[in-house]
Amino acid sequence: MTHNVLVVDDEPKLCDLLSSALSQNGLQVFTAGNGLHALKVLESEDIDLVISDWRMPGMDGPQLLAEIKNRFPHLPVIVMTAYSTVKNAVQSMRNGAFDYIAKPFDIDELDITVSKALQFRDILKDNQRMRAELDEHQQIDSLIGDSPSFRRVLHAIDSVRESNATILLTGESGTGKEMVARAIHQHGHRADRPFVAVNCAAIPEGLLESEMFGHRKGAFTGAVADRIGRFMQADKGTLFLDEIGEMPLALQAKILRALQERVIEPVGDSRERKVDVRVIAATNKNLLDAVANKEFREDLYYRLNVFPIPLPALRERVEDIAPLARHFAHTLGATAGKRFTGFSAQALQAMARYSWPGNIRELQNCVERATIVASGAVIEEEDLPAYLFASRPADSGALITEGNVPSNLDAALAEVEKDYILAALAQSNGVQAAAAQLIGISERSFWYRLKKLGIHVDKIVR
């Protein structure tokens, strides 16, 4: 495995000497004459180790070390200086330097120090990779189900995973869009590259452009150093744009250009940067409606919608509720030190009757609560949260009977969903956060459903 080493020193002859010595050990060496140049190299190259001088004009060694620890916390730094003092050595180690050597130094001593630093870097990388693989594995394990609607999702994942096509995941909140995006990345040819997720609704509008494309130092108030954006972080890998429907119109044009031309322009920088990113976008909104309402760019919609994958709501794959619940009970129970053998028939029936407006996320929250409450190895009906039984028809078979089949399934389901939300609001005295928690969905999802169903909270409070 070839390692990349960055040597930072304002003396060109020393840079050349170190470059020659380290290259003989099979290392790829980059050089920089000052701290600012070093940061630019770190942004564009995959560096495994930095060897930096202590005293340099402009950004000196301590300042560079602090910036590296802030932006690249796992990158080891060896500090070298001709002004060797115990005070400097202690200070550099306290500030996060891997080691400290004094000039003039012995090449053999340098080789040993560099070898130790690179071994440390390899261990960190292996740990990060194993943690990432574990996280990915846990996410993919949650893609459980054998219903016809979910088999279509799995078939779509298998069809598109090796391509570079832009993917648009659609579906209600909690249907597992990020899990599907991670599965596509993990099983494709970019699996060994970064997976970077961005929630477009969670970042303030004023910071979103900088977050996506990066910025140059001084581009705006508070921009004290250059910063790479999410597109560059995901270079050669996958960028997951969650809640893409919430992206401001002004930024949509720049996202479109990045997708079309594969170039980005950091804030405050006139130079373009090429990027190789596979984009997966997700939304719980109807983007065609948003296009019609001038809330979303039509050209961006078609650029994103190259390979659409609609994710079914949990109520549309009722046969998958039991295996999903068992999976959550097993994993959550193990975390809590409990062992569950399954659910009683009554508990499974209760979960099958519920409409799950929060989908898989709500089911997971429900099972987590049940694993806390349950006293035995089998989760019983009484261990389930009370909201599952709110507004239940007296006769479970009365929902659909002869002459009582709903003419519009969506409208009927909306009425059921509305009943649960109204019951939760009544129980929480109109406090939306508490009502959302009662039915196991996020506040954002709850607010979205209030708007969709036309529920005005001020009319609920008593």
Q: Note the pLDDT tens digit of each residue in 328-359.
A: 998 888 877 888 889 999 999 999 999 998 89
Q: Is residue 440 exposed (0-12), middle (13-18) or buried (19+ Cβ within 10 Å)?
A: buried
Nearest 5°: phi and psi at 32?
-145, 140
SS3 call for 270: coil
Residue that terminates a domain, selected from 312, 345, 362: 312
Beta partners for 197?
240
406 and 297 together in one domain: no
367 and 435 together in one domain: no
138 is a domain residue: no
141 is a domain residue: no
The 10s digit of each residue's pLDDT in 357-403 is 889 989 999 999 999 989 889 999 999 988 888 744 433 333 444 44
pLDDT-based confidence at 420, cuts 50/70/90? confident
342 and 225 together in one domain: no
Would you say 176 and 362 are in contact if contact means Cβ atoms under 8 Å apart? Answer: no
Residue that terminates a domain, selected from 252, 283, 312: 312
185 and 268 together in one domain: yes
DSSP structure string for 133-195: HHHHHHHHHT----SHHHHHHHHHHHHHTTS---EEEE-STTS-HHHHHHHHHHTSTTTTS-E
**Alpha carbon distance 378, 339 (integer Å):** 9
Q: Is residue 403 exposed (0-12), middle (13-18) or buried (19+ Cβ within 10 Å)?
A: exposed
Tell me the mean pLDDT in the region 124-151.
Answer: 66
267 and 354 together in one domain: no
The 10s digit of each residue's pLDDT in 273-294 is 889 999 999 999 999 999 999 9
- Pull the structure tokens for residue 138: 């846990």
**Alpha carbon distance 342, 326 (integer Å):** 6
Residue that terminates a domain, selected from 312, 330, 365: 312
Domain that holds residue 371: 314-389
| pLDDT score recorded for residue 227 | 78
Would you say 215 and 266 are in contact if contact means Cβ atoms under 8 Å apart? Answer: yes
The contacts of residue 179 (CB under 8 Å, 6+ apart) are 139, 140, 142, 143
SS3 call for 8: strand
| pLDDT score recorded for residue 459 | 41
153 and 81 together in one domain: no
Q: How far is CA 34 from CA 16, 37, 55, 76, 208, in A?
A: 15, 5, 10, 18, 30
- The count of domains in the chain is 4
341 and 268 together in one domain: no
Q: What's 360's domain CATH number?
A: 1.10.8.60
Nearest 5°: phi and psi at 170?
-125, 155
25 and 116 together in one domain: yes
